[in-house]
Amino acid sequence: MSGNEQKYINDAFETNWIAPLGPNVDQFEKELARYVGVNEAVAVSSGTAAIHLALSLLKVNKGDKVFCSSFTFIASANPIIYQGAEPIFIDSEPETWNMSPQALERAFQDAVKEGQLPKAVIVVNLYGQSAKMDEILAICAHYDVPIIEDAAESLGSLYKGKPSGTFGKFGVYSFNGNKIITTSGGGMLVSNEVESLHKARFLATQARDQAPHYQHSELGYNYRLSNILAGIGRAQLEILEERVVARRRIFERYYEELAHLPGITFMPELEQTRSNRWLTALTIDEKAAGVSVQQLLEALIADNIEARPGWKPLHLQPVFSGMKYYSHHNKQSISEQLFTNGICLPSGSNMNEEDQLRVLNCIKELFKQNRLKN
């Protein structure tokens, strides 16, 4: 927390707006819309809810197909199933670790052959890095299929100077506890299509018609954000830029200290983009390094340091078994390589220099021991 959160929470208490609506919600929406430069934003209870609403607005239903990045957190794809539709997973490419335009193009060509285009494409910007939006936008425009940009991890990132999350028809942010800013739990749906977002607000409030007697002509959800949590979000948004600077500084230090080690490759930053470096991620080539991701994870855990492997690709998830998948090359699945070789290092914005030194020493020690062994 930054300190100002309590002030906005107190406002909520003093005005007795303890509800999933109120002045903090309205202001949080306005302030976030202004920050990323979109016409409208709708504050909701989670990023997952925002994705679900976007699919609902695009009328994704039973029998429909939706293309979705494979290398991501499961929340990117679960709402496709909630709608009874079928996800088709698209691999990553090596320069951003995000959706491969060439795999996407192949998926579209097959969809044309089969006579059924997807209703939407969910593009994820992982660990803060924007996907290759120009290429992906061009492909989706060619087939006239809308994009939902899952920017849950990339708030504060830029692609060619423009905020991440503002490239699709809809953009999604998350304020879950682990994200770069948090409301403990929460999300935001953004778009320049104001009418659509008015509809989203309606759907997120149980789709209640304009009538005093609680009338409903459509199926809705209880997805609005609490006015208390929106207060936390307002204060968090004020320090987002500081957070990005802090996370980038953490990345820089890891890079300076570790990039020279054999077999280590840091997640790249695509030219003309600014990643918020939500998590510092890297891959380890076990042959060159003499150290595996598993060994490194174990060494870190032994020092009471929490680290994680890369996301397990969705096409490998048991819950999605049998779903279609398009790899980057016919014989090369980038997301599977990133899953096998990838690791995310501790990257919290409040990590101090000493904390980071502890992580660095642990990693260097493991590599040193290994050099001595060989």
Ligand X SMILES: *Cc1c(COP(=O)(O)O)cnc(C)c1O
Helix, strand and coil content of the chain, in percent to the nearest 5, comes to 45, 15, 40
User: 24 or 98: whose CB is closer to ligand X?
Assistant: 98
As measured in angstroms, the least distance from the Cβ of 285 to ligand X is 26
The residue assigned the tokens 């006015």 is 227
User: 166 or 367: whose CB is closer to ligand X?
Assistant: 166
As measured in angstroms, the least distance from the Cβ of 19 to ligand X is 20
User: 43 or 363: whose CB is closer to ligand X?
Assistant: 43
As measured in angstroms, the least distance from the Cβ of 38 to ligand X is 18
As measured in angstroms, the least distance from the Cβ of 51 to ligand X is 7
Taking the C-alpha atoms of residue 169 and residue 146, their distance in angstroms, rounded to an integer, is: 6
Site for ligand X in 177-216 (CB under 6 A): 187
Burial class (CB in 10 A: 0-12, 13-18, 19+), 321: exposed
Q: Kindly state whether residue 48 participates in binding ligand X, applying the rule CB under 6 A.
A: yes
User: 163 or 187: whose CB is closer to ligand X?
Assistant: 187
Taking the C-alpha atoms of residue 164 and residue 169, their distance in angstroms, rounded to an integer, is: 13
* Residue of 9, 17, 38, 46 interacting with ligand X (CB under 6 A): 46
* Residue of 17, 22, 27, 47 interacting with ligand X (CB under 6 A): 47
Residue 329 to residues 13, 103, 134, 146, Cα–Cα distance (Å): 56, 7, 20, 24
Site for ligand X in 115-174 (CB under 6 A): 124, 150, 152-153, 174
How many residues touch ligand X (CB under 6 A)? Answer: 14
Q: Which residue in 268, 305, 279 sits closest to 73, CA to CA? A: 279
Is 304:365 a contact under the CB 8 Å cutoff? Answer: no
User: 231 or 290: whose CB is closer to ligand X?
Assistant: 231
As measured in angstroms, the least distance from the Cβ of 48 to ligand X is 3
Site for ligand X in 54-93 (CB under 6 A): 72-73, 75-76
Strand partners, 190: 41, 171
* Residue 258, CA atoms < 13 Å, CB-side half-sphere: 29
As measured in angstroms, the least distance from the Cβ of 353 to ligand X is 27
CA distance between the termini of the chain: 46
Strand partners, 291: none
Residue facing ligand X at closest CB distance: 47
User: 131 or 296: whose CB is closer to ligand X?
Assistant: 131
- The tokens for 356 are 């980071």
Sheet architecture: strand order including 325-326: 40-44, 187-191, 170-174, 147-150, 120-124, 65-69, 86-90, 325-326
As measured in angstroms, the least distance from the Cβ of 45 to ligand X is 8
Residues near ligand X (CB under 6 A) are: 46-48, 72-73, 75-76, 124, 150, 152-153, 174, 176, 187
